[in-house]
Amino acid sequence: MPIDCPRAPFHRNEPIPMNSSHHTALIPIDVQRGFDYPPWGPRNNPAMEHNGQRLLAAWRERSLPLIHVRHDSVHDGSPLQPTHPGHAFRDGFEPLDGETIVGKSVNAAFIGTDLDLRLRRLRIDTVVLFGISTDMCVSTTARIASNLGYRTVVVGDACCCFDLTDADGTVIAAEAISRAHLATLRAEFAEVIDTDALLARVGEF
């Protein structure tokens, strides 16, 4: 039987109201050690870890809904494969006892997992996303969350991504990739906000 969960339309570029009555969940995505191994190269935003830990602390202090997403790669040799040391969470991002972990094997945290069901059971209507990487798993999860009807917030300065090479062999800097993806999310799928502004809003709960 479908679980009824209130939904409100998202109007692009408008701040999403968040308070205790809106059932807001924080979802850290793939904050794992494996991104320090090859083939991942130079990244942007060295403040990602600090900002992400501030978000975790604020949610835990208020006992707000928190669901950790972890990438469980099915590809041999991947630094995110469960037998690799890179599968572990980064220091400061380990789930505490009783906190939920959702394991995924593709980019989107909603595909092949029970994340949507868990959120609906908690009557969540707003999700706050951060993690690794901006253009891959964070962006893909944000797009699907929006399409599923969740009010979606991406904390841009608590995400990071990596340099990529295009078909012509040109290296595109991680910062340029991040800016483009956050702009696309802001235009159509999510409110994009920084950590300080998000924490100020959470402080009003």
Using one digit for the tens of pLDDT, what is the confidence trace for 15-47? Answer: 776 765 468 999 999 999 999 998 888 999 999
CA distance linking residue 39 with residue 81, whole number of Å: 14
Flag whether the pTM goes above 0.85. yes
The reported pLDDT for the residue numbered 6 is: 45
Q: Give the pLDDT of residue 99.
A: 97
Percentage of the chain lying above the pLDDT 90 cut: 83
Mean pLDDT of the region 63-89 = 94
pLDDT tens for each residue of 137-193: 999 999 999 999 999 999 999 999 999 999 999 999 999 999 999 999 999 999 999
If you count DSSP H runs as helices and E runs as strands, how many of each does the chain have, helices first? 5, 8
State the pLDDT at residue 77: 87
pLDDT band at 205, cuts 50/70/90? Answer: low
How would you classify residue 139: left for phi > 0, otherwise alpha for psi between -120 and 50, otherwise beta? Answer: alpha
Q: What is the mean pLDDT of residues 198-202?
A: 93
Helix (H) or strand (E) holding 191: strand 191-193
Alpha-carbon span 197 to 37, nearest angstrom: 32
Quote the CA–CA distance of 120 and 195 in Å, as a whole number: 26
Separation of alpha carbons 126 and 119, rounded Å: 9
